[in-house]
Structure 1
């Protein structure tokens, strides 16, 4: 049995899709939203308390570990790692973040602490370190782009190489079902570095309307985000991460998707055409 923790998230649901395509038995964990009915089994788990975790991992062969932002994300994921070790899990694939090893910003330090505990556990593992998801332009930025025609972020004119979550999932599926990449930390990027001005222009061309990007000060982003954030620390963490990227300190290229899967990652242009309806006016 292959357990997917975070099966209702953007990446976790794509991992589930990949494993189902391969005919791999899956147990999809959820807390409140019931995941894809195509999963072989479902298990309710509250990672903030550990409720249901032992039962979820009973008989598990592999585990895909992804969580959303949580007040104590380190505690939650380490709890999973410890339970997986007790359950005799053969392989664990963790969703981390690009540049986690740098510990240069809050979210990097969170994930690096978890990565260290995973290494100490002795469980054979692979760590996936993706950059920003293309899906962010639908899930997080889509409403503003659709209703106002503008995306506001404190990113300046820095570049990023966003990756489609489905390409992360293709990598994860290989790492869960093969030993070939055990012990690796894989940086996952899209095929091309772009500025946000360039990305919004591509989205606008796909949607058939003018869309634009505005770089805003850190303070403006902080004010907009605080009402919706898990905690003030997470808002500051995002600001630190954006600063890290706009200063050009993050890698903008990686061949890992091609290396692992044998095919290159999807282009931003293809993603924009596929999801063009997300940014069209009603």
Structure 2
């Protein structure tokens, strides 16, 4: 093919990458372009160069997920919590929801590398996971004598656990609809946002909403969030049973210091 044809093909592949609900198995042209990235090094180099022109990074080009793009600090294509959670008071809870959904869906590090693994999360279980983590942080702060509620070696928490606990997990309006300010309503909005961006799929309405993960989300979590994030809740006594439900124990105290607390993953074009 000519340089012009290759440029057009790369642009076409980028356009597919901006459509997170579309995957190569559902589109023959998309599948062909993905295959070219694996068989033609020059074509793959053109794709990376074109992505850099948009201040984006190519996270992966995968036969299941397609083109997965990541954001740089300069890009105008990055998504943030602020874009899908309009009220600033709700954003800390949404950030924790993003973290907990990833941690619950891929609790074991090997799940991130298992191409057949499909994570399953529910709104109720996400809320229970974060609530347990905040309760454990509170217990440790009390034991350490931190009057302000923030462990001395974790100033980034900024009493986030207290903020979460102050918000009702559920609430009903006068006509029995879920209150939009409740924790689970915010978690639901985060899950729906991930669904609309090709990261989750709706499975049922049980437990406030049940969702399964996609290959695109697995790649995003693995490449952009990292396995360290997924292990941090384990230090707070969170484990996941075979049925995907979180269970909680009180971990043994460490000999010195306080374990790192979970932090929210950074935003990217699809998260």
Q: Which has the higher strand share?
A: 1
What TM-score, normalized to structure 1? 0.28
Larger radius of gyration between Structure 1 and Structure 2: 2
Q: Which has the higher helix share?
A: 2
Larger RCO: 1 or 2 (CA < 8 Å, sep 6+): 2
What TM-score, normalized to structure 2? 0.29
